[in-house]
Amino acid sequence: MAIRFVLSSFSLSLMLLSACGPKAMRGGPDTENPKLDDGAMSTTLDRADVQYLVDQNLDAMFTSAFWGRDVQGAIGDPPVVAIWPITNATSEHLDDQMLTLLSAIETKLVNSGAVNVVSRERQAEMAAEAGVQNMAAFDPATAATLGKQIGAKYYITGKVTSVDERIKRTRRLQYTLFLQVIEVETSMIKFQFESERSKAIKG
């Protein structure tokens, strides 16, 4: 009888612990939490913010005079585009977000069907072969040398900046994604645009 009581108490304790412990949730379409990704969890850029900034910039590029004239109006094969690393000029640690941003830009360019895109992995390999040590900041001379090797006509480069404001217990960060398209041969800026996204948190 005592043993049965102890076992019952132990089982009840396990049930209570499992009920009070962390609960994993799956979010997104066709799940019990379809809006899990909608809410902001911090003032840091999340995936939705990154996608918004990329969409705003590239949609503007796709409807620009440059795109219609020099890309869609190009004679022969589609021009080759390479993506230079985007600079994180904020005070935030955004390593994962910057990788997501680069992937989003690359994906949207590839899916446009209007340009040929040099894979970032291949670009990094050729940079190493050419002895390029630092690709963090865009350098026209280095870009021209590397661009000739990979056959790129245009580079896409840019930076993420932020303005950080605090008042009482509220903090707001205003992020800006600034992108440029630079012609490799001439270093001329063919297109530039910036998009903005604000995040705030109240204590």
Domain range list for the chain: 47-202
- Structure-block tokens of residue 62: 């796709």
pTM of the full predicted structure?
Answer: 0.80
* Burial group, residue 78, by CB count within 10 angstroms (0-12, 13-18, 19+): middle
* Domain 47-202, CATH class in plain words: alpha beta
Whole-number Cα distances in Å, 22 to 10, 17, 18, 25, 41: 20, 10, 8, 10, 17
Average pLDDT per 10 consecutive residues for the chain, totaling 203 residues: 52 56 77 74 89 97 97 93 90 92 96 93 73 65 79 92 91 95 93 95 82
pLDDT value, residue 149: 82
Q: Which helix (H) or strand (E) element contains residue 11?
A: helix 2-20
Q: How many CB atoms lie within 10 A of CB 52?
A: 18
Measure the CA–CA gap between 164 and 171, rounded to whole angstroms: 7
Strand duo 87-88 + 154-167: pairing: parallel
The one-letter amino acid code at 47 reads R
